[in-house]
Structure 1
Amino acid sequence: MKHIQIKGLDKPVSQLIMGSDFFRLDNPEEVSSILEHYLSIGGNTIDTAFIYCGGESEQAIGKWLDENGNREVMNIFTKGAHHDANGPRVNREAIHSDLLTSLERLRTEYVDLYALHRDDPSVPVGAIVEALNEQVEAGRIRTFGASNWTHQRLQEAADYAERNGLIGFSFSSPNLSLAKANEPFWPGCVSADSDALEWYAATQLPLLSWSAQARGFFSGRFTPENRENADLVRVFYSDANWTRLRRAEQLAQEKGVSAIQIALAYVLNQPFPTGALIGPRSEAEMKSCYVGAQLKLTAGELAWLDLAEATV
């Protein structure tokens, strides 16, 4: 398993990051089995969030860590300050409250990576950076980043931190996939476009992508005629994405792998540090992710897959 280094962490982060939005307290056998498979391929980072499964995701992870003594082996990546029924809540009070609850659920004194689940552009970025620095100083988080922030806001935060001698964002977690989103999958979500990719390449800020495999778009289960999955149709069905799929299938055949493994490799071979949040539910799916993560793609292959070149 390849790893990337994120500023502020002692342990490197495995490029494949285990998603846990299906972890619950009533499926401990599945949670344990999946995490054992994940450990077996060299993974060391679990993604969760304050809101996942009403808090049960964090609780299930905390229980597993406690029972197996794996806390120091794993990087825990959780998110907070998501909006609620009353609207955005990206502020010092929500960050503090959500984090304390997450720590209790996870049965740990700190999390390795902490991210704001959404942005609220109406809040001055300086107040947010200062609130997160307070949590680092208190020892509750090792490093922090942003999920679903535009690269413009990330740059604004970096500038503020530098001007004021503070720690800035050490990573970002938007969507990045070979299939380009027509619109956000959920309100407030951000996908990295071509301008963003140029910014990440210039800054080398690590990007940890959610839905890196476009929610199964490259699995072979979907065709332009199959419109049963309304969300996939809404977000990923486009002529350009069907062309990307055909090219992924062609390259996969040449390399003796599958199109969905090529799609994963596309994310993990960018010219800046990247990781991919994955959600396998079986040993076979875990091994498939592992194979995809080992693939090497050239700059020419990346450009061709993304329709920037007519030929490889």
Structure 2
Amino acid sequence: MEERHLGRSGLLVSRLGLGTMTWGQDTEPDEAAAQLTAFVDAGGTLVDTADVYSEGDSERILGHLLREVVDRDSIVLATKAAIRPDGRYDGSRRHLLAALDASLERLDVDNVDLWQLHVYDPSTPLEETLSAADEAVSSGRTRYVGVSNYAGWQLAKAAAWQSAWPGRAPIVSAQMEYSLLRRDIEREVLPAALDAGVGVLPCSPLGRGVLTGKYRTGIPADSRAAAPHLSEFVQPYLDEECGRIVESVVTAAEGLGVSPLSVALAWVRDRPGVVAPIVGARTVAQLEQVLRSDALTLPQEIREALDDVSDMSASHP
């Protein structure tokens, strides 16, 4: 699998990342082991988790697999902090550094490669939040820092603050939802990332699974939309406008002789500023389909057609 630099840093990561949000809830440890093995065997390196995923079980499972299944040094390990277990945002220095220490304990590692500030906390001064990132790097608990779910101005402010003084840890990545069904980061977040040299890590690059085409004729019983705890996550992308985009993806896939998944993933993977879409799979079979799709590069005319059909300007200011 091709590798790309994460932003302006020297860190190389695979151009697809493995997401672990469902590990410990919808994905059992044995299935997680099979996914991680398949991912690494395909040349994947970037593995993403967070302290709140499955109440910490995602990190615990990943930590076990790094001891028993794959070599820790074979992956670029990324996690996040800034959300309390009760859902409150907390970007305070106290919470962030304690959360990082707890993540390292669950992962059973001395450090992570990428530590991401999961959300922007408006109740904490940004300079305090970023001081925790500096401490995390200077103490050796992480090698790089990034942000997640930051608005464009928040990302620009954080990146500018960190670059304003020698010795501060630069912001190297921004993880944001981005797909043919969710292009709003192109208004401000993506331009800010490009200007600051921050690499974008799209999450939900398959439109929460909708761009695979599985919901064209209904809701499969084994799908996320059928699961009580995930149905609200998928439902916003089951409207008529999204359906029109899905049909265009299906048409392009049929013309190329590939799956809709391959088309949707190739589109977002090769957008300006994007380093590595983060793909989460419920089963190893689903992940293997994603990994097989990595070879596809969309012809320019198909890329432009998909740009047009998913253009935000027709329905958004």
- TM bucket by the smaller chain? 0.7 to 0.9
Asked if 1:61 corresponds to 2:62, the answer is: yes
1: distance between equivalents of 2:186 and 2:85?
27
1:232-278 Cα offsets, whole Å, 9 max, x none, are: 56421344322221221111112111112111111101022321111
1: distance between equivalents of 2:108 and 2:310?
49
Q: Tell me the equivalent position of 1:129.
A: 130
1: distance between equivalents of 2:299 and 2:193?
18
1: distance between equivalents of 2:284 and 2:189?
34
Tell me the number of residue pairs that the alignment of Structure 1 and Structure 2 aligns: 301
1:273-303 Cα offsets, whole Å, 9 max, x none, are: 3211112244432232123322213555334
1:124-177 Cα offsets, whole Å, 9 max, x none, are: 222222220111000000001111111211101112122223222110001001
Query: SS of the counterpart of 1:120?
Result: coil
Q: Tell me the equivalent position of 1:78.
A: 79
Amino acid at match of 1:280: A
Amino acid at match of 1:64: L
Q: Which moves more between the two structures, 15-24 or 128-137?
A: 15-24
**Quick one: which of 192, 197, 204 aligns to 1:199?**
192
1: distance between equivalents of 2:268 and 2:298?
10
Amino acid at match of 2:24: R
**Quick one: which of 150, 166, 169 aligns to 1:167?**
169
Query: SS of the counterpart of 1:134?
Result: helix
Q: Tell me the equivalent position of 2:281.
A: 280
Asked if 1:4 corresponds to 2:4, the answer is: yes
Asked if 1:98 corresponds to 2:91, the answer is: no
Per the TM alignment, residue 60 of structure 1 is displaced from its structure 2 partner at its CA by 1.1
Q: Tell me the equivalent position of 2:210.
A: 217
Query: SS of the counterpart of 1:82?
Result: coil
Unaligned runs of 5+ in 1: 182-190
Amino acid at match of 1:209: P
Question: Which runs of structure 2 are paired with 1:98-117 in the superposition (5 Å)?
Answer: 98-117=99-118
* 1:145–1:171 CA contact under 8 A, matched in 2: yes
Q: Which moves more between the two structures, 81-90 or 249-258?
A: 81-90
Relative to 1, partners in 2 of residues 1:137 and 1:299: Cα closer, same or farther, differing over 3 Å?
Answer: farther
1: distance between equivalents of 2:134 and 2:278?
25
Relative to 1, partners in 2 of residues 1:283 and 1:88: Cα closer, same or farther, differing over 3 Å?
Answer: closer
* 1:83–1:118 CA contact under 8 A, matched in 2: no
Q: Which moves more between the two structures, 259-268 or 282-291?
A: 282-291
CA-atom RMSD in angstroms = 2.7
2: distance between equivalents of 1:298 and 1:197?
23
Normalised by the size of structure 2, how large is the TM-score?
0.85
Q: Tell me the equivalent position of 1:184.
A: none
Per the TM alignment, residue 109 of structure 1 is displaced from its structure 2 partner at its CA by 0.6
2: distance between equivalents of 1:169 and 1:151?
13
Query: SS of the counterpart of 2:298?
Result: coil
Relative to 1, partners in 2 of residues 1:88 and 1:201: Cα closer, same or farther, differing over 3 Å?
Answer: closer
2: distance between equivalents of 1:200 and 1:7?
9
Unaligned runs of 5+ in 2: 312-317
Amino acid at match of 2:251: Q
* 1:224–1:237 CA contact under 8 A, matched in 2: no
Query: SS of the counterpart of 1:170?
Result: strand
2: distance between equivalents of 1:98 and 1:129?
15
